Amino acid sequence: MTAMVAFGALACGGDDSPADAADVADVPDVLTDGDARAEDGAAPACGDGALDPGEACDDGNPVRDDGCDGLCRLESGWVCPEAGRPCRAAACGDSIVAGGEQCDDGNAGAGDGCSSACRMEEGWACDVPGSACRRTTCGDGTVEGTEQCEDGNHDLGDGCDPFCRLEPTCEDGTCVAVCGDGVRLPGEACDDGNTRPGDGCAAACTIEDGYTCTDVVDAEPASVAIPIVYRDFRGADLADGHPDFEYALGDDRGIVEDVLGADGKPVYAAAGGATPTTNGEGAFRSWYRDDATLNRTIVERLTLDRTAPGTFVFDNDDFFPLDGRGFVAEGTEDPRDGGHNFHFTSELRYWFVYAGGEELTFRGDDDVWVFVNGHLAVDIGGVHGAEDASVTLGAAEAAAMGLRADGIYEAVVFQAERHTSQSSYRLTLRGFNAPHSECAWGNCGDGTLEPAFGEECDDGNRVSGDGCDANCRAELGK
């Protein structure tokens, strides 16, 4: 009889304890089918999401290298605290890349290529777990480390910026977002500004299991850092100096055409001639293009601070970003008045989603030209003291510049410092918000800090404005 009962239970799913509580006829009770779940009628199996007898873990799949192997054994460097959920890294700094970690150099320090949360830091490559990371060089033609692209130059607006990060591509007045460029558009479930897996947003801009990603459209950050390219020149008073730095004083509107050239650079308007403060098309060409004979290129980021919702400002009345650098550092030009390095240009590009009412204001010297969607919006050309100009993108401006609601467009600021008496730069962007994604581990808000999954804080809720935002990122000033 015992043998028949056992056979019936295995073959037919019969119930060997009909008098127990919450009984379901002809369905095995708890443990009678060998697994840890009552009345499910299924035999235990690794990968079923239940921690059965003899299993050290069960993350819901029979795949190895995710913390719990195909035999439900715990893998080195991982912890699997909850059955049916993804495992996570045991600790950052243990020389094992696990969970949401992108690197692990054997320590939990930052500034060495692998952060304290085991995320790769920009400009580094971490090839071997447990070994030191190494710096990479953007522009050397090889994509490595955190680089998303590599086009062998330090230019802006060509699809790959000077930090080897993807840019939206713009043709015929329309820009198209690329996965990893930090602008989320329809068709992308997320875009967090990189193509690295393990941070919630995968290389194809799909949301990774266990994470949630939300759009950030408003002025959430305390600041934004925008790539800027400087080109240093020697003064016209030197034998090998550039003739336009500084040739003459005075306002000089109309130096450039109203539309950018095919290469995204200003087009000199006085073809075959000159203007009161410039010396012709040939000399002007090197202002915003690399020329090893005439200029030195230096790439940085310009940080604009949030001053009000949707408003970011950079303001410096003593703007000398190239002091001690460029030709001065090489010893081929001496510092000028006040020990400063005058004679340089700058180029800054920013992409935004047009909604209407965006406002850009600039105050500074000397020449400044602002182009929106390739059309000239601000012209304060010439060698002069600080001057103001602004553009608001209303309906008339949108029609003139070919802007459509929800389209992605590029704003470009070209500036030149040519006079050796002062240098100032104030840029205000109001309403130029582009949606990007911030992703958080699904356990954000459970009160447990998990740096390996990108959490900077976890105060037990998913509410912003209390010092720890809805994605478990620390809020500045809270």
Provide the β-strand partners of residue 375.
259, 372
In a domain, 107, yes or no: no
Residue 211's beta-bridge partner residues?
Answer: 441
Residue 151 lies in a domain: no
Asked whether 269 and 260 are in contact (CB, 8 A), the reply is no
SS3 sequence, 360-390? EEEEECCEEEEEECCEEEEECCEECCCEEEE
Nearest to 367 by CA among 208, 239, 256, 225: 256
Task: State how beta strands 408-417 and 344-353 pair.
Answer: antiparallel
Per-residue pLDDT, 45: 93
Amino acid in position 104? D
Angstrom distances, CA of residue 128 to CA of 42, 125, 142, 210, 416: 43, 9, 18, 26, 44
Q: Which residues of the chain have pLDDT under 50?
A: 1-35, 38-39, 219
CA distance 176 to 190: 15
Q: What is the structure's pLDDT at 19?
A: 42
State the Cα–Cα distance between residues 247 and 269, nearest whole angstrom: 18
In a domain, 280, yes or no: yes
Element (H, E) at 212: strand 211-216
**pLDDT value of position 452:** 61
Residue 251's DSSP bridge partners are: 382
Report how far residue 95's alpha carbon sits from residue 283's, in angstroms, rounded to the nearest whole number: 54
Q: Identify the burial level of 143 via C-beta atoms within 10 angstroms of its C-beta, where 0-12 means exposed, 13-18 middle and 19 or more buried.
A: middle
Note whether residue 110 is domain-resident: no
**225 and 314 Cβ atoms separated by less than 8 Å:** no
Q: Are β-strands 425-430 and 311-316 bridged in parallel, bridged antiparallel, or unpaired? A: antiparallel
Q: What amino acid occupies position 255?
A: I
Domain presence at residue 4: no
Q: What is the 8-class DSSP label of residue 451?
A: G
Asked if residue 158 belongs to a domain, the reply is no
Which residue type is seen at 270?
A
Number of domains in the chain: 1
Contact assessment for residue 164 and residue 140, using Cβ atoms and an 8 Å cutoff: no
Side chain identity at residue 411, one-letter code: A
Q: Give bridge partners of residue 278 from the DSSP assignment.
A: 275
Per-residue tokens: 43: 């035999």
Give 33-62 pLDDT, tens digit per residue: 444 554 455 678 999 999 999 999 999 999
Could you give the CA distance from residue 271 to residue 268 in angstroms, rounded to a whole number?
Answer: 7
Is the residue at 176 inside a domain? yes
Whether 347 is covered by a domain: the verdict is yes
Q: Which of 296, 290, 301 is nearest to 122 (CA)?
A: 301
Q: Where are the alpha helices (DSSP H) in 59-115?
A: none
403 in Cβ contact with 319 (< 8 Å): no
Domain that holds residue 288: 166-442
pTM of the model: 0.77
Cα 184 to Cα 139, 155, 306, 373: the distances in Å are: 26, 23, 21, 19
